[in-house]
Amino acid sequence: MFSSVLIANRGEIACRIARTAKRLGLRTIAVYSEADAQALHVRVCDEAYLIGPPPAAQSYLVMDKIIAVAKASGADCIHPGYGFLSENAGFAQACADAGIVFVGPPPDAIRAMGLKDRAKALMEKAGVPVVPGFHGDMQEPKFLQRKAYEIGYPVLIKAVAGGGGKGMRKVERHADFDAALEAAQREAQNAFGDARVLIEKYVSAPRHIEVQVFADGHGNAIHLNERDCSLQRRHQKVIEEAPAPGMSADLRARMGQAAVAAALAVGYQGAGTVEFIADSAGGLKDDGFWFMEMNTRLQVEHPVTEAVTGLDLVEWQFRIAAGETLPLKQDQVRLDGYAVEARLYAEDPERGFLPSTGKLVALRFPKADGLRVDTGVEAGDTVTPFYDPMIAKIIAHGATRNDALDALANALEATVVAGPRSNAGFLAALARADAFRQGDFDTGFIDAHLGELGATRQGLDRAAAARGAEMLLAQERARLASAGSASPWDADDAFQLSGARTLSLPLIAEGESVTAQVSYGHGVPVVSIDGTPAASDAVAIAAEDAVYVLRAGRQTKVTLRDLALDEAGDAGGGGLVRAPMHGKVLAVLVEKGTAVTRGQRVAIIEAMKMEHTLTAPVDGTVAEVAVEQGAQVPEGAKVLLIEAASAPSP
């Protein structure tokens, strides 16, 4: 076994790797960017080294810097986690050339599976079923358009070097192909440095089922059963579970054998995941699954496999990289109960799941038997715009699938995240959704049920805002009391010369100007907004500049309104286009003086390597362009101002 490991990653996966490494007695070495100087993974490791500025391209993706730290620190091996350099064959080769063990597969295996088109050709040769499509070298747009037509719509455009849903577009109609191709290629180039794509037939009722495989350097390979990752949004996984609902023992064996054949075909070593698309129409079928791709690394969702097998997959990775044989044979692999994992993100489901950045004013997780939380942040840390906005993975294990889902939903509802918005309420609703519980779902389930899951605009929660007003009022009273100041807030009696004593409290709640009514009678003051009393079922958390109220999975930010300032938003600014989140301006598509129509694309902003298109809110003329291409803009920053067109004279 090794004596030390450099963890070439950040966040929750770096913390998770460090946990196993420490248990095995390894000295743990972290690397960090300037944005992560105070990050949790830096604090939990034995040593930590700065490797560059916040952008990953200048820090976590710079191979030479990481190799240099490994040499300087005397690391025996490098564990890449997932993402960043984990599937980079050049990095695996650089480790070998430097005499440092790469905890992962050989460079040739990464190359073989790293490009989807080559991988599919290899799988066909190995007898593994493959989705029909075009996987060739020709990338001329008209040629690809013709191939899509021949395959038959709907089709999927997928980045050859892609992953995580980036560089992927579903196309329903021939007329939409060119625009979808352009967007997929641009996103693929930006995320992977490779704009090439392939075209696949889109399966109408697809389930995403993947098989965890392990292989050692002695010719042995096994699988550790399957995971169902069908609950996705924009091709990114949201909830994963093991085993897959509706999976028969025979189908599990067939998929497992195909996955092992895929690993053996490329001389694989270490942990890998073979991903299949399955046609769920009429139930899973023995002949209804096809190879999609192989991820040559540990997966985000590996904890559900650990829960049902009782294994530590990171320990297996270390042991295999150290030259040991597989710890178990195929017939020794357990499948105990059910496990389900939810990815808790700093994002706003009501605004198209836009990333949400900022300081974590509060972060608390419940504790229970069978519950596991993997996180890379603590209260007081900051979610930055530079990396994936994952807060934590919450994993629940139970005797039955419903037990596991109940435990997950309960945990999500008890989780407290304040500051950045989170998808906790959305995830809880998803875990409780009847159709999902009954196994009636595919990869389109979330998009088809957004309203039911609370992922559409719901308007201001006035009861939550009133609860925030209560806390603001209590804070002000406490401040004045400690200062020995007299104030109208001090009087608790109901005395007033005419009628009940009532005061108005001007607020900003979720950017909306509202007024709380504070009525003084016998006892404590009663606070309401537009007749709605303060919620009794909310959690209110005070910060320096605001009160954050959490209720039914939603966050309502409440502050006192300074009447001397225009805090109420954009009065008269119906043509104002603001940045919906902190990000980089990829393109400004209009100029000052350009006539635009409502819904027209006017700019593109990128956050966490995902593109978000901004559109004109009104018909009119561009009066101001406030940003330049390439600029970093904070959430709420002015991008454009459109002067609305005058209504026609009667």
CATH code, domain carrying 496: 3.30.700
What gap in Å lies between CA 116 and CA 200, rounded to an integer?
11
Q: What is the pLDDT of residues 411-458, one digit of tens each?
A: 999 999 999 999 999 999 999 999 999 999 999 999 999 999 999 999
Q: Which is it for strands 601-607 and 610-615: parallel, antiparallel or unpaired?
A: antiparallel
pLDDT band of residue 482 (cuts 50, 70, 90) is confident
Q: What is the pLDDT of residues 259-280, one digit of tens each?
A: 999 999 999 999 999 999 998 9
Model pLDDT, residue 478: 78
193 and 216 in a common domain: no
Are residue 468 and residue 409 in the same domain, yes or no?
A: no
Residue partners of 611: CB distance under 8 A and separation at least 6: 183, 186, 187, 586, 604, 605
In a domain, 152, yes or no: yes
Determine the structural domain holding residue 631 and report its residue range.
576-644
Task: Give the pLDDT of residue 235.
Answer: 81
**252 plus 114 within the same structural domain:** yes
| Whether residue 295 sits in one domain with residue 360 | no
Residues 454 and 535 in one domain: no
CATH classification of the domain holding 269 = 3.30.470.20
Q: And the tokens for 317?
A: 């990775």
Residue 567 lies in a domain: no
Residues facing 578 on adjacent strands: 638
What is the pLDDT confidence band of residue 593, given thresholds at 50, 70 and 90? Answer: very high
Residue 126 has pLDDT above 90, yes or no: no
Comparing 94 with 160, the larger pLDDT belongs to 94
- 594 has a pLDDT exceeding 80: yes
* Amino acid 287: pLDDT: 87
Lowest-pLDDT choice from 132-141, 406-415, 485-494: 485-494
Mean of per-residue pLDDT scores for the chain: 91
240 in the same domain as 108: yes
Which tens digit of pLDDT belongs to each residue from 614-627?
Answer: 999 889 999 999 99
User: 225 and 296: one domain?
Assistant: yes
Report yes or no on 510 lying in a domain.
yes
Kind plus residue range of the DSSP H or E element containing 111: helix 107-114
User: In the predicted model, is pLDDT for residue 485 greater than 60?
Assistant: no
Q: How confident is the model at residue 562 (pLDDT cuts 50, 70, 90)?
A: low
- List beta partners, residue 487: none
168-171 sheet: strands from edge to edge? 133-134, 197-201, 155-159, 168-171
68-86: per-residue pLDDT in tens? Answer: 999 999 999 999 999 999 9
My answer on whether 117 and 247 are in the same domain is yes
**Cα separation, 477 vs 467, whole angstroms:** 15
Mean pLDDT of 326-353: 96
With beta carbons less than 8 A apart as the criterion, state whether 551 and 463 touch: yes
Read off the pLDDT band of 649 (50, 70, 90).
Answer: very low
Strands 197-201 and 206-215: unpaired
How many residues in the chain? 650
* Pairing relationship of beta strands 338-345 and 236-242 according to DSSP bridges: antiparallel
Which of 320, 336, 352 is the last residue in one of the domains? 336
pLDDT 10s digits, 157-183: 999 987 777 899 999 999 999 999 999
Higher local confidence (pLDDT), 269 or 136: 269
Q: How far is CA 127 from CA 89, 267, 343, in A?
A: 25, 16, 34
The region of weakest confidence among 295-304, 360-369, 381-390, 561-570 is: 561-570
Q: What confidence score (pLDDT) does residue 502 get?
A: 81
**What was the pLDDT predicted at 609?**
61
| Higher-scoring residue by pLDDT: 647, 535 | 535
pLDDT digits (tens, 9 = 90+) for 490-528: 544 444 444 557 888 899 999 888 999 998 876 678 999
Would you state the structure tokens that stand for residue 91, as one six-digit string?
A: 């990095």
| Bridge-based pairing state of the strands 620-625 and 576-578 | unpaired
Residue 570 lies in a domain: no
Confidence at residue 494, expressed as pLDDT on a 0 to 100 scale: 42
Q: Are residues 208 and 327 in the same domain?
A: yes
Indicate if 127 and 77 belong to the same structural domain: no
Q: For residue 435, give the amino acid letter.
A: A
Torsion of CA 187, 191, 194, 196, to 10 degrees: -40
Q: What φ, ψ does residue 157 adopt, rounded to 5°?
A: -95, 125
| Residue 172: closest CA among 152, 142, 196 | 152
Please state the rounded mean pLDDT for residues 473-489.
Answer: 69
What amino acid positions are annotated as catalytic residues?
Answer: 297
The verdict on residue 565 lying in a domain is: no
Q: How confident is the model at residue 487, as a pLDDT?
A: 53
Structure-model confidence comparison of residues 82 and 475, the more confident one: 82
Tell me how crowded residue 75 is: count the other CB atoms within 10 A of its CB.
Answer: 28
pLDDT of res. 647: 53
Mean pLDDT across 472-487: 72
Would you say 192 and 166 are in contact if contact means Cβ atoms under 8 Å apart? yes
Residue 97 shares a structural domain with residue 144 = no
> Among 114-118, 137-141, 446-450, 457-461, where is mean pLDDT lowest?
114-118
The whole-number pLDDT of residue 127 equals 86
CATH number at 171 reads 3.30.1490.20
Share of the chain above pLDDT 90, in %: 74
566 within a domain of the structure (yes/no) = no
Q: For 607-620, what is the mean pLDDT? A: 81
pLDDT digits (tens, 9 = 90+) for 244-257: 999 999 999 999 99
Q: How confident is the model over 317-331, as a mean pLDDT? A: 98
Cβ pair 34, 50 in contact under 8 A: yes
Q: Please state which of the ranges 61-75, 399-413, 511-525, 530-544 shows the lowest mean pLDDT.
A: 511-525
pLDDT class of 571 with cuts at 50, 70, 90: very low
Average pLDDT, stretch 336-342?
98
The domain total for the chain is: 6
Domain-ending residue, one of 308, 336, 364: 336
> Do 115 and 195 belong to one domain?
no
Provide the token pair at 68: 């240099």
Please say which residue of 287, 315, 336 terminates a domain: 336
- Residue 565: predicted pLDDT: 47
What own/partner pairs with CB < 8 Å and gap ≥ 24 does 190-195 have?
A: 190/586, 190/606, 190/609, 191/159, 191/162, 191/166, 191/167, 191/609, 192/159, 192/161, 192/162, 192/166, 192/167, 193/161, 194/159, 194/160, 194/161, 195/139, 195/159
Residue 314 covered by a domain: yes
Residue 38 has what pLDDT?
96
Q: Does a structural domain hold residue 595? A: yes
In three-state secondary structure terms, 392 is strand
d(CA 153, CA 202): 7
